[in-house]
Structure 1
Amino acid sequence: MIVNPQEFNYRVTIGILVVAIVAFAAYGFTSYSTLKSDKDFLVQEKRHLHNELSEIINRFDALNSENLSLKSQLDSTSYKVRVTNFAINKLEANAVFNKVAQNELKFLKVQKRSLENREDSLIKASKQIEEEKQEVIKQLSFEKAEKRHALLEKMELKKKVDKASLISANSFKAIAFKINSSDKTTQTFKAKDAEHIELCFVIAENLIAPQGTKNLYIQIIDPENNIVADKGAVNFGDESLIFSESRKVNYSNEVLDVCLTIPGDEAFKSGNYYINVFENNRHLGGTELELN
């Protein structure tokens, strides 16, 4: 069998070219599949990381703190999250830059984890500050209520002390009498015979009342609502008191008997006479006298 060398070489060359083309095509297909897979992975990772950072941004926007230092940290970290998210959006997943993109994505993932840790720390700090704030508000409210209660108790005690320190009077008794020719007094129940009214009463013992001079005023109202033996009026601020007689007594915290005689300035009328006793403008008590 005769073989043409030129034809043989040609066939060998063709075979080699076919094998090379097939190998190159297989390599190209494999490289394309690998690149496409890497690109899909990068796109998926980019989308996933973008979503996670968007959630972090939303959580930061929801955080609110009145603490200036913490607020500054929140704003700074929130800014870093937004910058990182922007970098992810700009990240290209082209086949030419897959290696660079993968490295950049790894860096962004690390930065994202750091931001998440920072977020957890800031959230805990924010919650702690809010709890401390509420505790302070609660404590202040409690102290305010305690002070108010103590003030009310003090005011109530002062009222009781003030009231207890006032003098009081009792055992009021009034009689009408006339003076006969021998200067003897004779009690009478007849208006036509009456010339004077005598009033007696007792100022009670009070150990906490202030000692000293007490100004007493006697007011006698006749059956026609006129003041008997009108001595004029004494003023106490916006109030005035018309009185029939006045007396200054020296009080020393002990029982004090007081008697006064009020002469009629005109003939007594038949009927009821109302007799009141005042310390300044404060009513101590009184009694009633009936004349026929």
Structure 2
Amino acid sequence: MIVNPQEFNYRVTIGVLVVVIAVFTAYGLTSYSTLKSDKDFLVQEKRNLHNELSEILNRFDALNSENLILKSQLDSTIYKVGVTSNAIEKLEVKAAFNSKLQKQLTFLKEQKRSLEEREDSLIRVSQKIEEEKQEVIQELTFEKENALREKQALKTKIDKASYISANSFTAKAFKVKNSNEAIQTFKAKDTEQIELSFVIAQNTIAPKGTKYLYVQIIDPDNNVVADKGAISFGDESLIYSHKESVDYSNSALDLHLTIQNDKAFKTGNYYINVFENNRKLGGTQIKLE
């Protein structure tokens, strides 16, 4: 077989070119696929980073502290988040600049981590401030309630101290002669009246003026002697045997009251109580034979 050298060389050259073209085509396809994959990855990274920064920004907005120093730090950090977010938005994903873009995204990720750490720090500070605020509120509430209790206790003491008081209660039974001379007796059948003596004590802070006193004498059958009816004090009522009004001027006052009975006295114990309005001042008792 006769082979033409020129034709053979031509065929070899064509074969080599075919192989070279095939290799470059395969490499080109591989490079394109790689670049497209890298580009898609970077686009997704950019989107994720932007979304994460938006979430951080929302969380910072939610903090909204009343503390001026903390608020200043929050405003500064929010500004940095906005700047970083805008920088991400302006990045262009181009195959020719993938390496540069990758570096920029890496830097911005580091910025994001720094912002997250700052967020955690600010949250802790905000929580601490809120806890301290609540502690102060609780302390102030406790102190206020304690002060109110002390004020009320003091008012109660002052009110009690401003009341008149009485002491030295004594009671005696008397028989009245035709000459109106009263003679002390211990016998029920001879008794016509009871004389009650006591002292209203000195009290410089008690209000001056007329004081209304009520004497109540209870006989052995638990009935009120010389019943003058009942007087009401709000929801309370008092059945009394004698009413006396006295002019009180803060000085000690000796009182001697006579209570007469139009009925015969019975044998037994008689309990005598003295009230200023509906407040009991004291009392005593007497036994008649």
Deviation of the 1:221 alpha carbon = 1.6
CA distance in structure 1 between the partners assigned to 2:97 and 2:195 by the alignment: 121
- Tell me whether 1:166 sits opposite 2:144 in the alignment: no
In the alignment, is the contact (CA less than 8 A) between 1:56 and 1:116 conserved in 2? no
**Alignment partner, residue 143 of structure 1:** 140
Indicate the SS of the match to 1:288. strand
Indicate the SS of the match to 1:65. helix
**Alignment partner, residue 263 of structure 2:** 266
In the alignment, is the contact (CA less than 8 A) between 1:228 and 1:265 conserved in 2? no
Deviation of the 1:51 alpha carbon = 7.0
Q: Which amino acid aligns with 2:162?
A: S
Mind listing any 5+ residue stretches in structure 2 that lack a counterpart?
66-70
**Alignment partner, residue 233 of structure 2:** 236
Counterparts of 1:121-132 in structure 2, within 5 Å, are 121-132=118-129
**Alignment partner, residue 3 of structure 1:** none
CA distance in structure 1 between the partners assigned to 2:263 and 2:16 by the alignment: 156
- Tell me whether 1:247 sits opposite 2:244 in the alignment: yes
In the alignment, is the contact (CA less than 8 A) between 2:63 and 2:126 conserved in 1? no
Q: Which amino acid aligns with 2:226?
A: A
Mind listing any 5+ residue stretches in structure 1 that lack a counterpart?
1-5, 92-96
Counterparts of 1:21-40 in structure 2, within 5 Å, are 21-39=18-36
Counterparts of 1:104-115 in structure 2, within 5 Å, are 112-115=109-112
- Tell me whether 1:180 sits opposite 2:194 in the alignment: no
131, 140, 144: which one pairs with 1:134? 131
**Alignment partner, residue 153 of structure 2:** 156
**Alignment partner, residue 282 of structure 2:** 285
Counterparts of 1:213-232 in structure 2, within 5 Å, are 213-232=210-229
**Alignment partner, residue 209 of structure 1:** 206
In the alignment, is the contact (CA less than 8 A) between 2:63 and 2:123 conserved in 1? no
Deviation of the 1:282 alpha carbon = 0.5
In the alignment, is the contact (CA less than 8 A) between 1:46 and 1:105 conserved in 2? no
Counterparts of 1:188-207 in structure 2, within 5 Å, are 188-207=185-204
Question: What does the per-residue CA deviation read over 1:125-170, in whole Å, with 9 as the maximum and x for residues that have no partner?
Answer: 4443343333322222221121111101111111122112212212
Change (3 A) 1:64 1:291: farther
Indicate the SS of the match to 1:149. helix
**Alignment partner, residue 98 of structure 1:** 95
Deviation of the 1:228 alpha carbon = 1.8
CA distance in structure 1 between the partners assigned to 2:133 and 2:274 by the alignment: 56
Q: Which amino acid aligns with 2:177?
A: N
Indicate the SS of the match to 2:221. coil
Deviation of the 1:222 alpha carbon = 1.8
Q: Which amino acid aligns with 1:189?
A: F
CA distance in structure 1 between the partners assigned to 2:14 and 2:151 by the alignment: 113
In the alignment, is the contact (CA less than 8 A) between 1:233 and 1:242 conserved in 2? yes
CA distance in structure 1 between the partners assigned to 2:288 and 2:192 by the alignment: 12
CA distance in structure 2 between the partners assigned to 1:40 and 1:225 by the alignment: 110
In the alignment, is the contact (CA less than 8 A) between 1:191 and 1:291 conserved in 2? yes
Indicate the SS of the match to 1:207. coil
In the alignment, is the contact (CA less than 8 A) between 1:274 and 1:288 conserved in 2? yes
Indicate the SS of the match to 1:175. strand
Q: Percent identity?
A: 41
CA distance in structure 1 between the partners assigned to 2:7 and 2:282 by the alignment: 149
Deviation of the 1:275 alpha carbon = 0.9
Indicate the SS of the match to 2:191. coil
CA distance in structure 1 between the partners assigned to 2:228 and 2:143 by the alignment: 52
How large is the Cα RMSD of the aligned pairs? 4.0
- How many pairs align? 272
Change (3 A) 1:189 1:224: same
In the alignment, is the contact (CA less than 8 A) between 1:177 and 1:187 conserved in 2? yes
Q: TM-score, normalised by structure 1?
A: 0.73
Indicate the SS of the match to 1:229. coil
